Structure 1
Amino acid sequence: MDSLIDLGYWGLFIGSFLASTIVPFSADLLLIGVLALGGNVWGCLLIATVGNWLGGLTSYWIGWLGKWKWLERWFKVKPEQLSRQKSRIDKYGYGLAFFTWLPFVGDLFAIALGFYKVNPKLSAFYMLLGRFLRFLVWILLYLHFADRFVHFITR
């Protein structure tokens, strides 16, 4: 992650994008690192949000390309299981997109939303909103505890 921090805003964008796909990575720590090195707060918020959102949309799109028969054939998932899962996705709908920023399950939410063809525009909007608010909270925490963060990172 040090090399991504060294890339500054580009590193923040790349890291935020990758963290929002199935690559296990922390965009939050990267954001704090760039801020601690003097990154512009609003620029970091915009870059991290857009990079993370585009990564989430990529996961959504991968799910959109999926086919029921592939899951049945290659993963031995029964049609009944897919129908049950679809009913759960339909129950929560695009509201799940707000929570696609969550670690581990967020990527699965994004893929499932795409797989079940949940409204792309609303899914994209709620994905963007959730990710923006997540990074905003991290920035507010950083600004409140900036001295401690900088001390922790630089020692």
Structure 2
Amino acid sequence: MEIWIHRLIELLALPEYGLSTVFVVSFISATLLPLGSEPVVFGLVKLNPAMFWPAVLVATAGNTLGGALDWWMGYEAHVVVDKFQHSSHHGRAVRWLEKLGPKACLLSWLPVVGDPLCAVAGWLKFPFWPCLAYMVIGKFARYFLMTGSLIWAFPGVIGP
């Protein structure tokens, strides 16, 4: 198993694979798995500042597609979840989300709650395309602001 882990790390190593690594890590981090993609985006941009826009756009695409997968899983899970009773907190949260509709997906960039929010949007059967559009906006703003802020705050950490 140790060889497998080393092989995976070699495959995903920066900067050898660059944007593909950013895409994969951003996609996986948008699922319910606990993984942050910001350090990978920041690392790539610090190693190659000319990659700022491509890295932000690729990270946005990967993270949005991961959010779309969450939406689909939530949509399909609706039948299973309907079998269980809901608590009063759950009812309030659902009413709040139903009031916001697809616009709630703007919050998909938030840590901890953003990824499950995409699944809940699917579970509540919010329209896919508006949800996806709001995910793109929120996730793009996150990568743009976080990577830009880190580059500004730590100008000489890595690279020239």
For the criterion TM > 0.5, the same-fold answer is yes
Match of residue 85, structure 2, among 78, 88, 92: 78
**For residues 34 and 65 of structure 1, what CA distance do their matches in structure 2 show?**
36
- For the 8 Å contact 1:5–1:34, the answer to whether it is kept is no
Instruction: Determine whether 1:50 maps to 2:61.
Output: yes
Rounded to whole Å, the distance in 1 between the matches of 2:149 and 2:94 is: 37
Offset at 1:83? Answer: 5.2
For 2:150, the aligned partner's letter is Y
CA drift at 1:131? 0.4
Instruction: Note if 1:28 corresponds to 2:38.
Output: yes
TM-score by length of 2: 0.81
* 1:37 corresponds to: 47
Give the conservation status (yes or no) of the 8 Å contact 1:13–1:48. yes
Distance 2:119 2:72 in 1: 7
Letter paired with 1:95: K
Q: 2:18, 2:44 within 8 Å by CA — same for their partners in 1?
A: yes
Aligned match of 2:130: 122
Displaced runs of 4 or more, over 6 A: none
Shift in Å, 1:2: 6.4
Amino acid at match of 1:128: V
Conserved? CA contact 2:38–2:147, under 8 Å: no
Q: What percent of counterpart residues are identical?
A: 24
Equivalent residue letter for 2:85: K
- Root-mean-square deviation (CA, aligned residues, Å) is 2.2
CA–CA distance in structure 1, aligned partners of residues 27 and 130 of structure 2: 20
SS state at 1:143 partner: helix
Cα deviation for residue 143 of structure 1 reads 3.2
- 5 Å-filtered alignment, 1:1-155, equals 3=10, 4-6=12-14, 7-38=17-48, 40-68=51-79, 70-73=80-83, 77-78=84-85, 84-150=92-158
SS at match of 1:100: helix
> How far apart, in 2, do the equivalents of 1:47 and 1:143 lie?
18
Q: How many residues align?
A: 147
Q: Do the aligned partners of residues 84 and 109 (structure 1) sit closer, same or farther apart at CA in structure 2, a change above 3 Å counting?
A: same
Which digits, 9 at most, give the CA deviation of each residue in 1:47-74, with x for residues without a partner? 1110010001110110011134x2254x
Inter-CA distance 30–120: structure 2 relative to 1 (3 Å threshold): same
- 2:5 corresponds in structure 1 to none
